[in-house]
Amino acid sequence: MSADKKLIRRIADLSNIHIDDDELEGFAGDMDAIIGYMEQIKNIDTGDAKPMEHVLPVHNVFRDDIPEDSFEREKLIENAPSAEDGCFKVPAVVEQ
Amino acid sequence: MSICNKTIKETAALLRSRKIGAVELAREYLKEIEEKNPSVNAYVTVCHEKAVKAAEEAQKLLDSGEEISLLCGIPMGVKDNICTKGINTTCASRMLENYKPPYSATVYERLEKEGAVLLGKLNMDEFAMGGSSEHTVFGPVRNPWNTECVAGGSSGGSAASVAANMTTFSLGSDTGGSVRQPASFCGVVGLKPTYGRVSRYGLIAFASSLDQIGPLTRDIYDCAIVMNAISGYDSRDSTSVNIPCDDYLQDIDAGVENLKIGLPSEFFDTAMDDDVREKVLSAVQRLEERGAVIKEVSLPSVSYSVPAYYLISSSEASSNLARYDGIRYGYRSEKAENISQLYKLSRSEGFGREVKRRILTGTYALSSGYHDELYIKALKVRRLIADDFNRAFENFDLIAAPVYPVTAFRIGERAGDPLKMYLGDIFTVSANLAGIPALSVPCGLDKKGLPVGLQLMGKPFSEKLLLRAGLVVEQETGRLSIPCEIQEHI
């Protein structure tokens, strides 16, 4: 499968990334080479090997439920690009 | 002679014998940074006041007469993807240009507690994606051995700052070679620990199943000192392994007699610079002369490690980086008129091109119709690679290989060809896929006068053995330091 502009648009959309029209061609070229190379993996005979998500046996880690200090609200809000009255501020989510 | 070219061990001795004070030492380094950073570009933030204050505290500890860490009063630099409370942590990205973490990474907390003095935060490839430290919003890091060349990446600032005497040691992170390759390019020691040995709490995630924090130091002994401080269980990292740590300094000089070291034929059959091959094989020969038993070993699946690595790491990255939405922290586009545009434009303007390429690759590999044949297939190949290493370690104590096929290349030379950059990672990515520890130790200079690194890999939790063998290489080939005439012109 080669990466054409249509495909780049589709995955950019899934990734929530806007790509300008004049950048599309460049991305399509890069991605065509990258995906083309990665696709060789399809031809490898992996037999009955089980997928390995993690090198360690990952298990749920529990701790005792002890109350402790959390982050300071003001410090967290300070990093927000837009805030008001101690809340994150966003554009309208529901269309009028 | 500057004080700033000393190892941790040497500097700790000077601090203890009061030949220098911690504050004076910090000021010397800050001066060095001021002089050299305009040409090396290793630091993106310099903590002048905080460093002096931390040094004053360290001096109090030194004066107290109590038993203190070797790291007390020792200057350090930290890669800018490791959170430092209240100090900008940018990942060299426009996305996090103004981000001040409300908490510190465990590794930084531990070093701070031992009295190490933070000089500043170090430049890198954006979100640790890259092998040249050119993909950064702050401009490329320059290799102090030759400022026309890259410092390697993604921990380029971490390696360059140690090589240029702008810190005594530094921390980097290694997802596919990002500590080892810049260490090799800059002639310093770099270690990627076993997955789970060093806490990832506070390391801004790139690919969570592969990321590890590791030290970059002037020599092997220093690497052991830093490992002693940063290793160990941390309840705040769910993948932290709760088994006791070795004392990495103990028996570090026990040598390599009768150790079995394997040379993977698949690696040595790969195209690489003649100089790299010669220096690496000559270091291996020195190990043999010191009593190691050297034999060829086959790791048949490592040839597929690059596609497997890029599919897995990009898939994890596309998921990890989904958190950057321009709302709670990070860059927000001013052009957005609705919530959907806010996400799309903030991410488009906040991320650089390489980060976008990785997110797109990962999203593609995880998308409906491709998930099984790309992402899941890559995970199966990962299993085969890990099995190869397991089999090899039934007969061998260590595996020796090059770190990178070439020495430091010129800035801009490879920037336009992302696939070519990826292919260079052939020797380093398999250690991350298998979760095993891997060390890069300098083993000589090529004909251009640029450093070459030897890579040693071992079983999980065999860092101590890696350092032992690394010390022999260091003793035999000599520590690399930048000649004075170059050092003076940086």
pLDDT for position B102: 95
Interface residue B88 vs chain A (CB under 8 A): no
Q: Catalytic site residue B178?
A: yes
Tell me whether residue B306 is in a domain. no
- The number of C-alpha atoms within 13 Å of A92 and in the hemisphere containing its C-beta is 4
Tell me whether residue B194 is in a domain. yes
Which residues fall within 8 angstroms of residue B183, CB to CB, at 6 or more apart? B152, B155, B159, B172, B189, B190, B216, B403, B440, B442, B453
Q: Which domain holds residue B16?
A: 3-262+393-487
Interface residue B97 vs chain A (CB under 8 A): no
Determine which helix (DSSP H) or strand (DSSP E) holds B427, and give its type and residue range: none
Under DSSP, the state recorded for A15 is T
Tell me whether residue B44 is in a domain. yes
CB contact under 8 A, B374 and A34: no
Q: Which domain holds residue A16?
A: 5-43
- Mean pLDDT of residues grouped by 10 in chain B (490 residues)? 90 96 98 97 98 98 94 98 98 97 97 98 98 98 98 98 98 98 98 98 98 98 98 95 96 98 97 97 98 98 97 98 97 94 97 97 96 97 98 98 98 92 96 98 97 98 98 95 84
Which tokens in the block code for residue B361? Answer: 């690759």
Tell me whether residue A54 is in a domain. no
Tell me whether residue B347 is in a domain. no
Tell me whether residue A81 is in a domain. no
* Neighbour tally for B94: CB within 10 Å: 16
CB contact under 8 A, A50 and B336: no
Q: Of A30, A56, A93, which has the smallest distance from its Cβ to B435's Cβ?
A: A56
CA distances from B191 to B194, B206, B279, B457 (A): 9, 18, 19, 10
Tell me whether residue A84 is in a domain. no
* Neighbour tally for B128: CB within 10 Å: 30
For residue B86, the distance in angstroms to the closest alpha carbon of chain A comes to: 9
Chain A residues with CB under 8 Å of B307 CB are: 37-38, 40-41
The rounded distance, in Å, linking the Cα atoms of B272 and B452 is 12
Tell me whether residue A16 is in a domain. yes
Interface residue B376 vs chain A (CB under 8 A): yes
pLDDT band at A96 (very low <50, low <70, confident <90, very high): low
Contact B453, B180 (CB under 8 A): yes
Tell me whether residue A18 is in a domain. yes
The rounded distance, in Å, linking the Cα atoms of B430 and B440 is 14
Tell me whether residue B166 is in a domain. yes
pLDDT band at A62 (very low <50, low <70, confident <90, very high): confident
pLDDT for position A1: 55
Computed on alpha carbons and rounded to an integer, the radius of gyration of chain B in Å comes to 21
Interface residue B96 vs chain A (CB under 8 A): no
CB contact under 8 A, B357 and A27: yes
CATH number of the domain to which B437 belongs = 3.90.1300.10
Tell me whether residue A75 is in a domain. no
Nearest to B432 by CA among B193, B181, B168: B193
pLDDT for position B210: 98
Total residue count of chain A as it appears in this document: 96
Tell me the pLDDT of chain A averaged across its residues.
Answer: 91
Q: How many domains does chain A have?
A: 1
Tell me whether residue B362 is in a domain. no
Tell me whether residue A28 is in a domain. yes
Beta strands in B3-123 (DSSP E): 43-46, 75-79, 117-122
Under DSSP, the state recorded for B372 is I
Which tokens in the block code for residue B175? Answer: 């997802």
Q: How many domains does chain B have?
A: 1
pLDDT for position B489: 80
Determine which helix (DSSP H) or strand (DSSP E) holds B264, and give its type and residue range: strand B260-264
Tell me whether residue B375 is in a domain. no
Backbone angles phi, psi at B120, to 5 degrees: 170, -175
Tell me whether residue B121 is in a domain. yes
